[in-house]
Each structure stands twice: as C-alpha cells, then as structure tokens.
Amino acid sequence: MGAPTALRPAVAAGKPVRCEQGWFTSIRSPLGNGYRLIAASPGLSAAEKRELVACAPTHDSLCDQSANGRGLAAFRLSSGRWCLFLSRHAGREPTARGGWLVETHVLVLEPDAYQQFGFNPLCVQAARDVALLSPADTRRSCLPPLELTSGLAATSAFDCAVAVDEPEIKQLSAVTAAVLEGTPVIGTVANPARALGGLMTAVPTAIRSRLSISCGLRFTPTRAFTLVLTDRLSHERLRLAEEHGYRVIKEAAFTLEPSAFEPWLRLAEDSWRRGGAAELDRISRQLTETCSAQALTQVAAMWLDLDLAEGADEATRRAICERHENTQALSSVYDNLRERLRASRDAHETAW
Amino acid sequence: MLSGLFARNSAAKDACSVVAGDQAAPADRTRTSGDALLQALQTRRYGLIVRGRQQWLQHPHFQSVFEEAVKAVDELFALVPEGMVSLSLSTFDQPGQPETEVPTAAFLLARHAVTNADYQLFVDAGGYQQLEIWPRDIWPHLINMKDQTGQPGPRYWRDGQHDRRLARHPVVGVCYYEAAAYAAWAGYRLPTDAEWQMAASWRVRGAADAQRRYPWGDGFEVGRCNLWASGHGGTLPVEACPEGAAPNGVLQLVGNVWEWTDGEFRCTDRDGRLVVGATLLKTIRGGAYDTYFPWQATSTFRTAADSMARSPNIGFRCALDLLTN
Amino acid sequence: MSSTVSPSFTACLICGTRNQPKATVCKECSAPMALVHEAEAQQRPPRIVSVVGDSNVGKTVYLGFLLDMLSQRANQFEAIPRGAYSVDLPQNVISHMAYRMFPPKTPVESSEWNWAYYQVCKRGRSPKWVDLVMPDMAGEAIAAEVAAPSTFRVIEQLLARSSGVLLLVDAALAAHGSAQPDFFGVKMLSYLDSLYTTDRRKRIEVPVAVVLTKADYFPECFDDPRRFAQANLTRLCNLCESRLAKVEFFATSVVGALGYATSENDDVVTSIPLHVSLRGVLEPFEWVLQQL
C-alpha cells in the first residue's frame, strides 16, 4: 500500500446543507454607524445574535494586515448550534479613521450539518465560497438561509494541508498534541490557514466535534477558543494567554514535550511530509467515537503495519496479522484496518 | 513630550481680562464729521489716505492730514524685510514632506491685530453696506454676517457694538471676507501666507539662512504668548505679551487669536491626497488662546478654516505695501 | 465595596469575579486587575465615571484630552494617574492629534479598551481628592449592549456601578438633521433607567451630563447647549426632563477645523483634524464631579 499519499478522493455526491447566515461589519447608515449585525436570516435567535455579536471580529482583528487578509472562527453557541465566522478585509473602514474594514460572514449550523463537513471550518468555507457569488445580499437586512453542498468542499480543503518544512511540521505536531490532550493552545504560525488545514487532518472527529477554533484572528480573551492560530503575540497578549491557561507554541521557539499521542503524531508528521494528508484526514474523520491515546496509538500501529505488510514476505505478513488477530479493538477504525490487513493477506495467499 | 515644555500657567492673571459674569458695556458709536478725507482720518483709514493721496492733492488740509497719516502708519506698522520662506504643502508635519520656497518682498505689517475698537469704526461707517469692498459672490452671504442681535457686525457683538471692556482686544467672530473687507476699507490688505510666515520666522536672505521657530526665538515659553498653556482662557489686549514680539516689534504673531491670511490652503495629506474643506479653506496662522499644542503655533505651522467661519478665536491683522515717494 | 474575597482570590472591581491574585485582567470582563490593587492601596473606593455614546461620536478623543488637561492642571485641577496604563489613552490621543490624525477606532473587545484610574482634586479652600475610574469603551459595544442587554456584561456592570455619566451626542449630525443621535440618546437613557431605577415613580439620581460633541460645526451650540438640544434632540430632552433628577447640557469641541481627503481609488473620505482648539472639555466633567 505504501505510505499515505496525496490521493484525491472521489468526489462524493454533495448533500445539501442548510444553515442560517448573517453579515457583521461596519457601515454608515441612518440607523447607526460602526460594527454590527447588518443582515441576518430569520432563523437566528435573539440569544444567538447577542452571543455572536459579543465576539465577532471587528476593527484590526485580522492578523493579515494586507487588503486580502482573512480569518475564521468556529465555536459552539449556547443554543447548541455551531457558529462560524468567515472574515476578510473589504476595503477601507468607512468612518475614515484608518485601517481596513472587516466583513464577517456568519454561518450558524446544526451539529449534524456541521458534521457533514467533518467539523472542519475550512470545508465549510470552501462550500460557502462556491455558494456565495457576491456579498450583494448585504444590502438586504433580512436574508434567506444559505444552502451549502458538503461533498464539493472536501477536496479543496486538503489543498491547504501542505506543510512546507520540518520546523513547521514539528510545530504543527506540538499544537496537535495539545489539541488531542484537550489543552487550550495558541500557535503562532506564519500561515494560520495552512496550519489549520494540516492540523485538522490529524484531529479525530470525536475531538473536532467539540473544538472551538480561531484562525487568522488576533487573540483576545473574548474569543478564548480552544485552538487559536495566530501570527504573533505581543508581550501583553502572551501574558493574557498564559493567565487564561493557554499553552503557547511559538514559531521556532518551542520545546517538544513528551505526549501520550506520540505514535499518532509521528504518523501525522509522516503524512504531512509525504503529502498524504488526504488519507490521514479520511482516517481521522472515521474516528468518531473515541480519541484516547491508546486508541490512536493502536490505529497508528495498525497503519504502519499495513504499510509494512504490503511489501513483506509471506512469513512476515502472517506474523503481522497474528500480532493483531487477538488485539481488542479500541475503535471501529482499527477493526476496519484489521479487515484490510486480513484481506491483503488472503489476497496474497490466493495469488500464490 | 509635553511635561517640562510647558506647565499650564494656572495662576495667570490679567487685569484687563473680562471676568465672566460681569455686566457687558457697549462701546460708544463713532461719530465723524467733515468731508471724506477728514472722515478717513477720523476713522483711522490711514492706508486709504497714503495710498490714495492723488485724489486729495487739492484738498486744503491735505498736507497736514497726509503727514498725520504717514506718522500713524509709521507707528502702527513695522517693516518686514524681504526674505524667503518654505511653505509646507502637507498636513503631515514631518521632515521630508513637500514644501515650496516662496520669496517675499519687503512690506509693512501691523504691529497689532485689528481690535474691536478699530473694527467698530468700520461697522459705524457702514462697512457692511459698501458693496464695492466685498466680492460680488459674497453679497448674498452678507445677510448672515450679523451679531447676536441681528445687526451687521462680528458674531459676538450686540446691537452693532462691541463690549467696551474688550476695546483693545482683537476682534473675533469675523470670517475671512469680513477681514478682507475691513482691510480694503482701511486702505490696507491682508498679508499673504508667505508674508505672515516671513514676519514670524524672520528668515532674512543671507548666508546664515536662519529662521525662528517663534517670533522671539526657537524655544517655546509660555509667558511670551497667549496659548492654552498660558491659562488665560480667552483673548488678551493686543499689547499684551510684549516679550513675544518679533524683532521688528510686531506683537502676538503667535497666540491670542489665529490670523486670517490672504492665502488659499492647498495641502496634501500624508498619502498625497488633496485636502479640502466643506467650503473654501483659507489659511490661518499663529495659534490662539485655546491652541493646545505649542507646535501648532509656530511660525511655519499652516492650518486653515472655512472662509465663512466666524470663530471666537480667529482675528486678523493688516498689511501694507511699502510706500514710494 | 469588598475587593478581596479571600487570600487566594481577588475580586474584580467591575464585575466582582474571583481571579487569581496575580491575574493582570479579569477573566470574565477583561478589566485590569490593577484597578483593584490601586483601590486597595488608596484605601478608598474609586468612583466610576462612564463616558458613553454612539460609535464615532468622539469618546476617545474627548476622554483623552480631558485626562491630559487634568494632568496639566487646567482650571485649578490636579490629577495623578495611578498606574502607567492610565496614561495610555491620553498618550494615544495626543500623539495622533498632534500629527493631525484621529486615533484609531476603539476595538470592540473589552480586553483592548483603555482604562484610566486617576486621583483628581480641585484646588481651593478645602480640596477633596476623588479617585476616578474612566474606561474608554467602544461605541459599537455600547450600542450592542443597549440594543440587547447583557451582550457586553462588562458595560452593564460598569454602568450599574457608575457614579456619574457623560453622555456624548454628535451635535454635528444632529445639526445636519439626522435623528440618529436623538434616538441613540433616548435608547441610552432608557437603558440607564432600567439599570438605576426600580421604582418608576422616582427619577434617576445619577448625574448625567449630556455633552454635545463636534460643536465647532455648529457654533450656536456653544451659546446655549440646552436650547440646541431642545431644538435638535427633542426626544432626548424630553426624556431627560422626565427621568433625570440631575442633568445638564454642554457643548464641546476639540477640532478647530476639519479637512477632508479622498482618493480616486475608493470612496472613503478621511477626516483630518487641521488643528486642535479645545472648547468645553472640562466643564461637563467639572459639573459631574460637583454632583458626586
């Protein structure tokens, strides 16, 4: 089988997913100036609006200070639904006090709708980019719900998951470890979106389903999400982060700590190195019921053995199979991989 | 940045300052008699006399009137020598910003800003009704140039009269056009932007090419002028702050009131974009009693106000071309 | 006001949340914990004076100059900043305005706000020192809180604890004929009404200074601010009369003249403060202080 390679998965027939939407930005209007929710679909409740307004990105919130700056966030509202912020710079701030205007497309999805996208905000963003042709809708204060297509999004998200060099891989691994351990973490990275794309491929669905994310937005305690990927932290923000219990993993200035998820992390690093993130993501998405260190270690070991068995002789292959034959499966993924191993063994024996 | 340079003079006293709550006292109206030449003398239109002397050569009292006018000009005006000034063309006051060099010829500049008493003469002589001294396109706006009681006059006057306690204070509440009209009526003119800067910076042509940050020198001193830091909170008589005089004795170029100049404000911002106002912007110079930053009252600082603005902190002074024999 | 719950925790001055003793900001409302430490050091509870208003009304500029003027002993005042963080706001405002730029927008995130803790005294026969906490809040956050209470709980708690309020209203907009300042003022007062009064028969005792900002645009505002408000902010005036026991109207301006710069590439017009001329900045504050 070889190491996980950059296979392009077959595009599944997209399932339509319905979500509520809104636009949060700064405008001048007869009703008022400044940042507020200027348009929303009727399905957004008053409580949800209140909650998202309190933490939506505003002036100077994006890390990328260029005209093309982008950022995103995903978190769970008190109502149980998921809220996504897809933010970008959209011209100059209209109140003429300098800086860029931050325009945020707010999407609110039911948990099972978000699951269609593998709990990956990048997938949702990709689907939104296809569905939304222009922000002309912002002129209307009442919007219709948005229909997204889940299958289409899968491929484009993997394009982001390309780690470039070894230090970046190691940093990504350290951040992933913190996520797997459930520790709030801030990673200061050169390219937050790319880092998120790579990291998500190594995070099982069981963790993704409760992971709040901020990517490309400046850290602030009002958006104290579990995973924060930002470009830099000032001394003040660093102190704030530490006071709020964050582990801060700075680019080129961190130490790798021992982790119970070591085998899984090594597998992830190898996948990123070899461009096999797509296959890794597929495995991660299947891990819906458990994400314990033992379960992931078991899966990682099986994966490596699958790779080993592919090019091995019959005796080695049989030994590998026997090693796993009586192991208690800690996840269905392990079971499936074990079936693949058996099938591979049987196929070779038949051929002989 | 701020501490040490100027601590606000909280204990500033001025015997002439109007105390809030005191009863206002309207000034007396001007009464003139005689023919036009004699009236011009009575109303202190010395510029009109000396510049327009040809028309009065045959007047029986011309010689004595003329000599008196010349003597008055000599007392009221000071010579500003020729020089060269660098006018900033940017609102971003940092080194390296665009400037233009403008030579200035020698001219006469009033030692004081125009006072309320001076301006009263203009109002009493019907200056607001003499359309020939106003630009034609301003005629429809004359109806707005009223005082608190609806009479023609500066904004803060009442019944066409100033408060006599402020007789020697600079007149304020006049727009650029009122300042220009007064100057024209009196036979003077407003200084140009470059001329004003020349008078304040004293950048005389020479090998040294030195210029002054303030009329008295380069260091700011709160006692030499009437800015916010001086603590007066209002205008002072035009003779106040003699230590702040320019080398030729001109007083209060900096502080007390901003001064209208005959210059259109054309500047760009730090990004090179043209700066415009709601209406035509005219340059004002020198800072006023409410100017918070001393560096906005230097000899080179250029700012502007809408030409129709009748602010409580903008006045003016007059200029006169050198007289030829 | 109890500032310490137990040796292990320190209660936030604004919201009362228990924080670690070494915390720099409150984990709940992001108010600086230095406020608590200063209050403990002074051994007297500070008074909170809130400057509120819609977005772009001029709160940051007004408060920045006010604090700077107090520090320079304007009008017989003496003001001592407690903590270097208290100087951040005036420094930010002064350094921008001195170079003919307005300071940037105040971020909506409360952790980014500037807080000022000053000891203020008016010199005279019997000077009395008052400790004041004055945060510079984002107008959008205030508007959001007024529109939907409890959106920004820190604002709710700040205002609930305020001893005085300066309500800034855009006189230039009102003079232009916009009803927006009037409506915002009414909403703000209604919000304060719900915070301060439980008995609808009684009026609000917290002094409210209605400050008409950018009054240089309409100089008549200075002649009689109350009359200007009655003519241009009728709804607000009526509500003030009905619900406030202590209210006064003031006009203020900071900018002597405004220029505008545009480019062909975008429609954004940049306002440029051509020079600073302060009028009416201290008077509203002085009045509120007298009411305390």
What CATH number is given to the structural domain containing C167? 3.40.50.300
With contact defined as beta carbons under 8 Å apart, do A145 and A41 qualify? yes
Q: What is the structure's pLDDT at B14?
A: 38
For residue A221, give the nearest of C20, C25, C180 by CB distance: C25
Q: What is the mean pLDDT of chain B?
A: 89
> Do residues C158 and C28 make contact, with C-beta atoms less than 8 angstroms apart?
no
Q: Pick the residue from chain C with its C-alpha nearest to B266.
A: C259
pLDDT higher than 80, residue B7: no
- Among C252, C277, C278, most B C-beta atoms within 10 A, so best to mutate, is C277
Of C99, C270, C274, the CB nearest to B303: C274
CB contact under 8 A, C180 and A32: yes
Q: Specify the pLDDT at position C243.
A: 94
pLDDT at A163 over 60: no
Which site among C108, C151, C186 would you substitute to test the A interface, given the most A Cβ atoms closer than 10 Å to its Cβ?
Answer: C108
CA distance C258 to chain B (A): 7
Q: Which residues of C touch A58 (CB under 8 A)?
A: 105, 107-109, 138, 140
**Cross-chain CB nearest to A32 (options C54, C107, C111):** C54
pLDDT of residue B4: 32
Where are the domains positioned within chain A? 16-160, 166-258, 263-351
C261 vs B: CB within 8 A: yes
Q: Which of residues 5-44 of C touch B (CB under 8 A)?
A: none
Nearest to C24 among A32, A60, A240 (CB): A240
Report residue B102 as tokens: 């403008």
Question: Is-contact A264 A297, C-beta < 8 A?
Answer: yes
% of chain C exceeding 90 in pLDDT:
72
Candidates B91, B301, B310; nearest CB to C259: B91
> Cα(A122)–Cα(A127) distance, rounded to whole angstroms?
9
For testing contact with chain A, the best of C105, C168, C176, C267 (most A CBs within 10 A): C105
C122 and C197 co-located in one domain: yes
Q: Does A8 lie at the interface with C, CB-CB under 8 angstroms?
A: no
Taking the CA of residue A102 and the nearest CA in chain C, the distance in Å comes to 12
Asked whether the predicted pLDDT for residue B167 surpasses 50, the reply is yes
Q: What is the pLDDT of residue C154?
A: 92
pLDDT for residue C264 is more than 90: no
Span B123-131, average pLDDT: 95
The pLDDT of residue A233: 87
Do both C195 and C132 map to the same domain?
A: yes
Residue C116 vs residue B210, higher pLDDT: C116
pLDDT tens, residue by residue, A45-54? 999 999 999 9
- Specify whether C5 is located in the same domain as C89: no
Res A117 pLDDT > 60:
yes
pLDDT confidence band for B134 (50 / 70 / 90) = very high
C100 touches chain A (CB under 8 A): no
Show which of residues 180-209 on chain C sit within 8 Å of chain A, judged by CB atoms. Answer: 180, 184
The residue range of the domain holding C174 is 46-291
Ranked by mean pLDDT, the top range of A226-240, C155-169, C188-202 is C155-169
Above pLDDT 90, what percent of chain B? 72
pLDDT at A4: 34
Q: What pLDDT, on the 0 to 100 scale, is given for residue B320?
A: 96
Residue B21: per-residue pLDDT: 53
Determine the pLDDT at residue C275. 96
Rounded to whole angstroms, how far apart are CA atoms A165 and B126? 85
pLDDT at residue A324, as a whole number = 82
Q: What are the residue ranges spanned by the domains of chain B?
A: 36-321
Asked whether residue B44 carries a pLDDT value surpassing 60, the answer given is: yes
Q: How confident is the model at residue A72 (pLDDT cuts 50, 70, 90)?
A: very high
Chain C residue nearest residue A90, CA to CA: C266
Chain A interface, best mutation among C60, C140, C154, by max A CB count within 10 A: C140
Are C183 and C59 members of one domain? yes
CB pairs under 8 A between A and C: 106
C21 and C8 Cβ atoms separated by less than 8 Å: yes
Q: How far is C201 from chain A (nearest CA, A)?
A: 31
Q: Give the pTM.
A: 0.89
The percentage of chain B sitting over the pLDDT mark of 70, rounded to a whole number, equals 92
- What phi and psi, each to the nearest 5 degrees, are found at residue B19? -85, 130
Q: Does A35 touch chain C (CB under 8 A)?
A: yes
pLDDT bin (cut points 50, 70, 90) of residue B19 is very low
Q: What is the mean pLDDT of residues B84-102?
A: 89
pLDDT of residue A278: 83
Nearest residue of B to residue C72, measured between CA atoms: B8
> In the structure, what pLDDT confidence band is assigned to residue A317 with cuts at 50, 70 and 90?
confident
Does residue B41 register a pLDDT over 70?
yes
CA distance C173 to C162: 27
For A34, the closest of C22, C109, C139 (CB atoms) is C139
- What are the tens digits of pLDDT across the range B190-239? 999 999 999 999 987 777 777 899 999 999 999 999 999 999 999 999 99
- List CB contacts (< 8 A) between C103 and chain A: 97
The pLDDT of residue A329 is: 84
Q: Quick one: pLDDT at residue C6?
A: 54
Same domain, C62 and C190: yes
pLDDT for residue A1:
37
The CA distance from B37 to the nearest CA of chain C, in Å, is 39
Q: C118: which strand partners?
A: C81, C132
Residue with tokens 């009727």: A42
Highest mean pLDDT among A169-178, A243-252, B22-31, B35-44: A169-178
- Contact by Cβ (8 Å): C111, C62: no
Which tokens in the block code for residue B17? 């300052």
Q: How close B290 gets to chain C, by Cα (Å)? A: 5
**C27 contacts A243 by C-beta, under 8 angstroms:** yes
Residue A20 has pLDDT above 80, yes or no: yes
**Cβ(A299)–Cβ(A333) under 8 Å?**
yes
Interface of C with A in 258-277 (CB under 8 A): 266, 268-271
Instruction: Please report which confidence band the pLDDT of residue A336 belongs to, taking 50, 70 and 90 as the band edges.
Output: confident
Q: Per mean pLDDT, which range of C169-178, C198-207, C256-265, C269-278 is the poorest?
A: C256-265
Q: With 70 as the cut, is the pLDDT of residue C25 above it?
A: yes
pLDDT at B317 (0 to 100): 98
Question: Is the predicted pLDDT of residue A5 greater than 70, yes or no?
Answer: no
pLDDT of residue C86: 94
Determine whether the interchain pair B303/C275 forms a contact, defined as Cβ–Cβ distance below 8 Å.
yes
CA distance linking residue A296 with residue A262, whole number of Å: 9
- Shared domain check, C149 and C76: yes
Specify whether C51 is located in the same domain as C78.
yes
The answer on pLDDT for A154 being more than 50 is: no
Q: Mutate which of C25, C109, C114 to test chain A, going by most A C-beta atoms within 10 A?
A: C109
Domain count, chain C: 2
CB–CB contact C30 A221 (8 Å): yes
Which pair of tokens denotes residue A114? 């978000």
Q: What is the side-by-side strand order in the sheet with B77-80?
A: B77-80, B107-110, B319-321
Tell me whether residues B271 and C260 touch, CB distance under 8 A.
Answer: no
DSSP characters over C189-256? HHHHHHHH-S-TTSPB-S-EEEEEESGGGSTHHHH-HHHHHHHH-HHHHHHHHHHBSSEEEEE-EEEE
pLDDT score of A224 more than 60: yes
C150 touches B at CB < 8 Å: no
> Is pLDDT at A140 greater than 80 in this prediction?
no
State the burial class of residue B199 (Cβ atoms within 10 Å of its Cβ: 0-12, 13-18, 19+).
buried
For the segment B140-153, the average pLDDT, to the nearest whole number, is 95
- pLDDT at position B15, please? 34
CA distances C175 to A94, C51, C169, C219, C221, Å, are 21, 22, 11, 10, 9
Question: Which has more pLDDT, A157 or B306?
Answer: B306
Yes or no, beta carbons of C148 and A58 under 8 Å apart: no
Q: How high does pLDDT run on average in chain A?
A: 84
Residues of C in contact with B2 (CB under 8 A): 68, 72, 94
pLDDT of residue A232: 85
CA-to-CA distance for B89 and B93, rounded, in angstroms? 9
Are A91 and C101 inside 8 Å of each other by CB?
Answer: no
Reported as half-sphere exposure (CB side, CA atoms, 13 A), residue B251 has a value of 18
Question: Among A217-226, B26-35, B179-188, C134-143, which stretch is predicted with the lowest mean pLDDT?
Answer: B26-35
ipTM of the complex: 0.89
Q: Considering only CB atoms, which chain A residues are within 8 Å of C180?
A: 30-32
Residue C94 identity (one-letter amino acid): I
pLDDT on residue C87: 96
> How close does chain C come to A194, measured CA to CA in Å?
26
* One domain, residues C140 and C182: yes
Using a threshold of 3 CB pairs under 8 A, tell whether chains B and C touch. Answer: yes
Higher pLDDT, C262 or C261: C261
CATH superfamily of B36-321: paralog of FGE (formylglycine-generating enzyme) (3.90.1580.10)
Question: Is B13 or B110 the better-scoring residue by pLDDT?
Answer: B110
Yes or no, beta carbons of C256 and B305 under 8 Å apart: yes
Asked whether the predicted pLDDT for residue B311 surpasses 50, the reply is: yes
What is the arithmetic mean of pLDDT over A302-316? 83
CB B239 within 8 A of CB B18: no
Provide the percentage of residues in chain A whose pLDDT is more than 70: 87
Task: Mark whether A and C touch (3+ CB pairs within 8 Å).
Answer: yes
Question: Residue range A67-76: average pLDDT?
Answer: 94
